Structure 1
């Protein structure tokens, strides 16, 4: 998921350089949503891992 977040961020930057404001805004929004989702899933995984302990 972090990969897709970076891809959408790059698309947003390229679109902004060429002056496509709508595409840049949409890509930036998608990248932000994916990044936040990635962070939330990482935190959940980390907490579950700490609660389970090592096998």
Structure 2
């Protein structure tokens, strides 16, 4: 999911360079939403692992 956020961020930067404001704004919004979803899932995963008492496998 972080990969999708990065992809939309790159699309937003390229669209902004070429002057496509609407597309750049939409891609930025999608990237920001996906980033925060990724962070929320990360925090939930860390809390769940802490409650279970298991360390993450590396």
TM-score, normalised via structure 2 length: 0.92
State the match for 1:10 in structure 2.
Answer: 10
Question: 1:54 deviation in Å?
Answer: 2.0
Looking at structure 1, the residues matched to 37 and 48 of structure 2 have their Cα atoms a distance apart, in angstroms, of: 17
Within the alignment, does 1:39 sit opposite 2:39 as a pair? yes
State the match for 1:53 in structure 2.
Answer: 53
State the Cα deviation string for residues 25-47 of structure 1 (Å, max 9, x = none): 00000000000000000000000
Within the alignment, does 1:24 sit opposite 2:18 as a pair? no
Extract unaligned runs of 5+ from structure 2.
Answer: none
TM-score, normalised via structure 1 length: 0.97
The structure richer in helix per residue is: 1
**For the aligned residues, what is the CA RMSD?**
1.0
